[in-house]
Every structure is written in structure tokens, then in C-alpha cells.
Amino acid sequence: MRKFFLVLILLITFNAEKLYADRGSIPFKPNVKIFEPTQRAMIAWNGQEEILLLSTDLKASEPTRVLEVIPLPSEPVVKKGDVEVFKKATALINRKLREQHTRAQGKGLAREGIMPPAGEVTFHKKIGAHDISVTHVLNSAGFIQWVEKYLKDAGVENPRIPEAMKTVISEYLKEGFSWFVFDVVELDEEPKTNEAIQYRFKTDFLFYPVKITRTEEGYTSIELLVLTPKLLRNFPGIPIKEVKLRHEPVSISSQELRTLNEEMDDLLGHREDMKLRIWQIQGELSSFKKDLIAK
């Protein structure tokens, strides 16, 4: 069985060889490269609200603070999450797929080529504190002014926001995205694992930001744990043909979900047949003109 890690493998940096997605990064020091070699994400959506659980591994070419920018469709409630959810969800999917495979073998229906996603999420060490600000932006000029003031207040001389970042933020604002999460973390040359952060926000579509990191070039491989009451087929953002299903969806009960995340179980209404699966999106980052949106 080949190894598979339920993580977003990403590398965010100005001028890095590879770049992976979900947020934009602005280092406080100019010309510092920011590396984000691992990101884990789980999404639960009930048709009206979404819970997005994120955890990243980060390092920098030299010690610095970094301002990370995440666009969201509405004002989020932000709280500390539990990184154990990712490992527990991986184990649950593995068990479900093994059971399905065993049943199919017994009936002579086992299919080749679909393997359970076996693997272990690896952590380095905790980044003990996030400095998170949730900001309601009314126009692109307001965004730039806010960020530049923030950096100046933090002691950055002559802060400059990349033109590509200004452009993509303007696109989000035109599309009605006026809420942004700003997360400041301390980095050095050694990889560190962020404590998981959970965002809960109202949205009438499942959402995951991708084009925010279109400000750089590079190859993207995104893997997401996705949990909904039913399977989704309408993808008005990134085309459905570009969203690959890594395995057959598994059904989980309310009790099983509560062992992963009680708030997600509450969000989904304590259903007994929820659908959990892994989506994968790959390609050149510069090719992504839209975010992941599904209904």
C-alpha cells in the first residue's frame, strides 16, 4: 500500500521553486522567503455555514514575522482548533475503506486501483501564539492602507505590498469578499507547526481560497478532507473536472463525527449518513483564476 498523507503539501514563498495554496503571505522583512511545506485542512459545510479547520507547517529563510492573509465570504468566528482531528479523520477513512474493500472482496466486487489513504501526519513543534485580526475591508485602497499601517506599527520601514497581491485582493472585493483574516506568526529557519485554527462563517457555498496565492508561480497540489450531508456536483469556481476524488466517499455517523469534532457534528445536524472524502486539486498556480466553490 503506497503512503499517502492527508495534508495540503504547499510551499508559499516569494521566488520559491514551488508554491501551494490557500492564503497570501507578506514577510515583515523584505526579500525573506517563506516556506509552508505542509498544510492540513478539513471542511464541514451544511448549506448555510462552513467550518474550516487549518494547520500549517512554516519556516523562513531567516527569522522574521509574517502576515498571512485569508479571504472569506463573511465574518468568521475564530477559535483554537485541535490538530488531532486530522489524524483521527485519516484513521476513520482508512477503517471505512478497509471495511468496504473487505465486503466487496467477499462479494467478488473489489476494484483495483483504489487504495485506502494510509499515512501519518508528521509535526515538528508548536508555534505557541497567533496574532489574528479579522478585518472588514470596503475597498482595495482600504486593504492596502490597513496592511501598511499594521506593518509600520510593527516596526517595518517602508512596507510595500506586492502589486500582484493588490490585484487579487481587488478581485475578491469585486466578487463580494470583504472579510479577511490576518494572522501573524514568528518564524525562523526551523520548520514549526502552527496550532490548528478553526474558522466558522456563513456561506451558501462550500468555499476554499486558492487564487489568493496566484501572486506567485509554481505547481500546486491541494488535498482537502471534505464533509457534507450529501455529495456535491455544482462547481461554479474551479471546474469539477479539476477536483479529483482520491477514494470512494465514506459514510459516517453522528457519533463517529463527534469523536472528531463536536462542533462539526452540531453544524451538520447530527445526521447518520454524512459523506466524508478527500478532494485533490493540482496544477500550475498561475492557472487558477477562481477559488474552490461547490454546492
User: Is residue 4 included in any domain, yes or no?
Assistant: no
User: Is residue 222 included in any domain, yes or no?
Assistant: yes
Contact 208, 22 (CB under 8 A): yes
- The C-alpha cell of 234 is what? 455544482
State the residue range of the domain holding 262. 24-132+181-294
Tens digits of residue pLDDT in 5-31: 222 222 222 222 233 345 666 777 777
Contact 247, 289 (CB under 8 A): no
Instruction: State yes or no: pLDDT of 206 exceeds 70.
Output: yes
User: Is residue 174 included in any domain, yes or no?
Assistant: no
| CA separation for the pair 6, 79 (Å, rounded) | 22
User: Is residue 163 included in any domain, yes or no?
Assistant: no
Q: What is the average pLDDT across 232-245? A: 91
Question: pLDDT band for position 219 (50/70/90)?
Answer: low
| CA separation for the pair 180, 137 (Å, rounded) | 7
Tens digits of residue pLDDT in 156-173: 777 777 787 888 888 888
Tens digits of residue pLDDT in 132-162: 778 887 777 777 777 777 778 777 777 777 7
Number of domains in the chain: 1
Beta bridge partners of 58: 192
User: Is residue 8 included in any domain, yes or no?
Assistant: no
User: Is residue 169 included in any domain, yes or no?
Assistant: no
User: Is residue 74 included in any domain, yes or no?
Assistant: yes
Contact 155, 208 (CB under 8 A): no
User: Is residue 58 included in any domain, yes or no?
Assistant: yes
